[in-house]
Structure 1
């Protein structure tokens, strides 16, 4: 089971904080001084909890009855449950995923920033992979996003030696009217990444095992 839930923060949403956050989360929320970070925190908790409530009868009721905690490396967890959760933010979107504990799933949303030369982080072979495409900045961010998703799949982010995340191939495919890039990893051949432009400046990436069928997951992400 893999269930994504995507929220566009540019759309109008009316959230009642006390109905979304548990008492523990509310203290954390109040201690965030930056208004943008507070909004991300609230939207992120809502995205995870709404996803959980839609997928499991055990989470019915007020969302505030669920507490999203942090693992040792700051990844989101729901204690004592048979599901894993993932979360990612960009400037525009909040993306959550709920999946069974027997699976490996990583997600990422990125906003392209032309003032940040992310392509400098690519290896020589990765630069060659994207040399035949227009907009190097877009592909550099796409690679970066897939690497972030890979790191989140292992619940370590980009804390390992950056070379371990190296991308070995990229192939465009047409899915649901959108160009989706299928990405392979040099050191993790049993995993595959999917990356596409969600909007003009926003990239969405998903990493799963090769054997997992993700057509419906990608359809939800593309159509939402």
Structure 2
């Protein structure tokens, strides 16, 4: 994983054509993000940020929005990052507003140290999630898995903790696509199959066969992108995010 930021623009291939998208991964300390916030936050976002008092909340807010704005800048040339505003929908999902920006939307995830965001056309829904690999969290994650998923842990990753964390990110990313968040029982997001391909695990879902997850481990983090099952994403794009 890069020390500061990695940004990749890519195209999603489908039988009906190509869909442009972009993803950004950010690793910046809070002091740096605060110093540069005026270069990427919208005026309304600056007001929202000033109301945040806890450093962890401040860092999460800035990591997510910086990643989102950098991804947006890669997708759309010649835009001013501060013209774009990300607000929260009624289910706390991020909603992107940009005058003349069309129907571009965003999915955001963050941990204490990393932020990731993916921007995409509204007509091609996607979701992203990231979690720190933590042994102490593995037992909690195991409680939300189905018996079938527990039997497939070894197919996701040879390390149980990493496998559990990857499964969690898949479910989170799918919930973001569906805009349900944590309000829907996680067993409904059960995976049906898992296969490894060049260090990336590809999973399909039992109840949502129209989607798939692309997941990987990097920098002690589990990462997942959920996208329509028949869409093709060049795996080299993902590799550039963590092999750079």
After TM superposition, the score normalised by the length of structure 1 is 0.88
Map 1:197-216; keep pairs closer than 5 Å: 197-199=217-219, 201-215=220-234, 216=236
Check the 8 A contact 1:4/1:220 in 2, yes or no: no
> Deviation digits for residues 28-65 of structure 1, max 9, x if unmatched?
111111112112212221211122122224x623x222
Aligned residue among 51, 58, 61 for 1:31 = 51
Instruction: Say whether 1:73 aligns with 2:91.
Output: yes
Q: What RMSD, in angstroms, separates the aligned Cα atoms of the two structures? A: 2.1
Tell me what 1:162 maps to: 186
Aligned residue among 158, 161, 174 for 1:150 = 174
Secondary structure of the 1:84 match is strand
Secondary structure of the 2:182 match is coil
Gaps of 5+ in 1: none
Gaps of 5+ in 2: 1-19
CA 2–219 in structure 1, closer or farther in 2 if over 3 Å, else same: farther
* Corresponding pairs, count: 217
Secondary structure of the 1:121 match is coil
**Deviation for aligned residue 1:161:** 2.3
Tell me what 2:239 maps to: 219
Check the 8 A contact 1:147/1:158 in 2, yes or no: no
> Deviation digits for residues 159-200 of structure 1, max 9, x if unmatched?
2122210111111111xxxx111111111112111111012x
Once residues 110 and 26 of structure 2 are traced to their aligned partners in structure 1, the CA distance between those partners, rounded to angstroms, is 10
Once residues 225 and 88 of structure 2 are traced to their aligned partners in structure 1, the CA distance between those partners, rounded to angstroms, is 21
> Deviation digits for residues 59-97 of structure 1, max 9, x if unmatched?
623x22221111111111123632111100023311011
Tell me what 1:126 maps to: 149
Once residues 158 and 214 of structure 1 are traced to their aligned partners in structure 2, the CA distance between those partners, rounded to angstroms, is 27
Check the 8 A contact 1:6/1:95 in 2, yes or no: yes
Once residues 160 and 38 of structure 2 are traced to their aligned partners in structure 1, the CA distance between those partners, rounded to angstroms, is 44
Secondary structure of the 1:115 match is helix
